[in-house]
Structure 1
Amino acid sequence: MSSREEVLRRVREALGGDRGVRPPVPRGYARRLTEAEAESRADVVALFTERVADNRAAVRHVGADEVGTAVAAALWGRETKQIVVPADLPFGWLAELDGVRALADTPALDLDTLAAADGSVTGCALAVAQTGTVVLDGGRAQGRRALTLVPGYHLCVVHADQIVGTVPEAVGRLDPARPLTWISGPSATYGIEAARVEGAHGPRHLEVLVVED
């Protein structure tokens, strides 16, 4: 039997052979964090914070009444002059801005305007503690995907009650029909010499504000 025939045989076998009955796919995923990983809700949030930092993103905890101040401080710290935001971003998140121009994405901003912006500010659909990932689905306070892929800096506000333990938990809560963007740290890739290059297909800098409600 040739290599080609062997490959085709395995494909047919995986598809159930002539009977068209596919064998069951093992799905023994860990759907919850173990007690060793997180005993309490506070531990889930703490694990998320740790993993976000491991992913080379900046992360801070703020109170629910401090979001506007924290957003302003993050943007001032980067000497930001102009940002782009979803049209439905909560007004209070930008209420403390002074000297920073916020452009709402309505009507949709062109790519040149997005590229010229110093950054973007959004919320998220949910976040995953185990991987330090934030997930956007184009819903409230998130906007379209270009808002977070074109500017070089992304400030994401995550409420503590949006943080789930594992990826299977996240998948169970998300709508697969929506445009899902999974973000685990700044955009990065590795070249042929294994050199890390950031900003190859998204923002070079990610900052996360975890809001303790």
Structure 2
Amino acid sequence: MSNPRVTGAIRYAQDVEFEGMLHASILRSPYPHARILRVDASAVPDSVVVLTPDDIRDYGSYGCQIQDQTVLPRDRVRFVGDPVVAVAAPTKREADEALNLIDVEYERLPGVFDAVEAVAEGAPLVHEHHAISDNDAAYFGIRPQEGTNICHRFRIRHGDMEEGFKQADVVVEETYRTPGAQHASMEPHASVARWQDGRLEIWTGTQTLFNLRMDLAGIFNIPESQIRIISPP
């Protein structure tokens, strides 16, 4: 029997379709750090649903360790590609075209582009405040340092370090950097959602269904029992 993952027969979240479903597109920030001054979506046709930062201010924040993420930025973008406006239209083409009709005015702000630079005294803050997550399934006791970009600090104390250096035959001091990494998943990032029989149903590729359900319940302020997550296959 042939493997459906090899033949392409397996059905992922992007293959889920429903009659009358809308297709979403995201307008993203071209700046690493900027304040959102104005969003003008008045030119978008009525057939397209538009979601702006003003529409999500009452929604909750989320994050498995620190709850510093929102559906859309409330006032500032914090990285190139940060979602600013979401649209949904009867076709993907209509959704993509609608993005060209949206005008966003930004005030560019200083950014940080290096981990060492980010923890230096006086560095621009990515987040002014750190709200600890109440997600028991993922939280491991993180300790963010208020007023800094440090999300966690811990100390290892064992033995006499200075004496160890004195006794060492060779002492090597160097700075090592590792590149970013991305999982090479076979399925693309995709989600399909619908409200069915008083319950939110979502098809998406995820390994943490219960964590996702908890986050969504907090965002929309609904009970977890009203949310069903399906992760195909």
Q: Give the TM-score normalised by structure 2.
A: 0.22
- Greater share of helix residues, 1 or 2? 1
Q: TM-score, length-normalised on structure 1?
A: 0.24
Q: Which has the larger radius of gyration?
A: 2
